[in-house]
Structure 1
Amino acid sequence: MSRSERSPLLLAGLLAAAGTAHFAAPRQFDHTVPRSLPGSPRTWTYASGAVELALAAGVALPRTRRVAALATAAFFVGVFPANIKMAVDWRHRPAPQKAAALGRLPLQLPLVLWARGVAKGAEGRS
């Protein structure tokens, strides 16, 4: 399997793992939900986990890959405020935790570009 064939499956795996984590350990995600969002943080945690699982399935399937990958790129942009909140909230934590929270911020750009690349690769195969 070539690198370009593995890329969508790896992205789908990342999304599936993250989505599953939202259900397996929701409390850690509840704390990243911006307070300005209406409703319970747990509802947002479960909703974002469900979205990640749906995106994973869509990216994994060639027929829906392009649209799902574009939606994934948008999702990665949409959850960026949660990463900012985490970095702000964790600014006084021990150095390894603070570094992890800050490290998530620049990671969003490669994730968005990866998802866009998967979408572009799917265009060529349709």
Structure 2
Amino acid sequence: MKQFFLYLMSAFFVFTGVMHFLTPKTFLGIMPKFLPYPLQLVYISGACELLFAILLVIPTTRYWGAWLIILLLVVVFPANIQMAVSFYRQQNPYLWLALLRLPLQFVLIWWAWLYTRPNITD
């Protein structure tokens, strides 16, 4: 079961990483306005998600992959805040979903942290 959740997390980040390249406008819409080069940052964050997901499934790099995913989740948190603020201002009916993403980020951080511990998938 532990292996299943490891591969599930990796697949989640592979999927979202690929989506950064297939639908960059979606991610541009939640990019905080104060950041320069938003399109490039969308592509960079997508590439990081792909790379870190791969590192996560390789036993010898799992520790670093998990810590890099945690770092990425912290770094992109302002985008989740921006999404919630934008949805609120636009009276978007999916505001509830944007608000749900905020605590979900902490769940994802905890989940990744589990893979920083030795022998978590044994």
TM-score by length of 1: 0.89
Whether the 8 Å contact between 1:69 and 1:118 is mirrored in structure 2 is yes
2:19 is the alignment partner of 1:21: yes
1:45-124 → structure 2 map (5 Å cutoff)? 45-91=42-88, 92-95=90-93, 97-120=94-117, 123-124=118-119
Match status 1:32 vs 2:27: no
**Which structure shows the bigger proportion of residues in helix conformation?**
1
CA distance in 1, matches of 2:98, 2:58: 32
Counterpart of 2:112, as a letter, is A
Structure 2 unaligned regions, length at least 5? none
CA RMSD after TM alignment = 1.5
**Structure 1 position 43 matched with structure 2 position 40:** yes
Percent identical pairs in the alignment equals: 34
CA distance in structure 2 between the partners assigned to 1:93 and 1:117 by the alignment: 37
Q: Which runs of 5+ in 1 are unaligned?
A: none
4+ residue runs over 3 A deviation: none
TM-score by length of 2: 0.92
CA distance in 1, matches of 2:91, 2:109: 28
Deviation at 1:93, TM superposition (A): 3.0
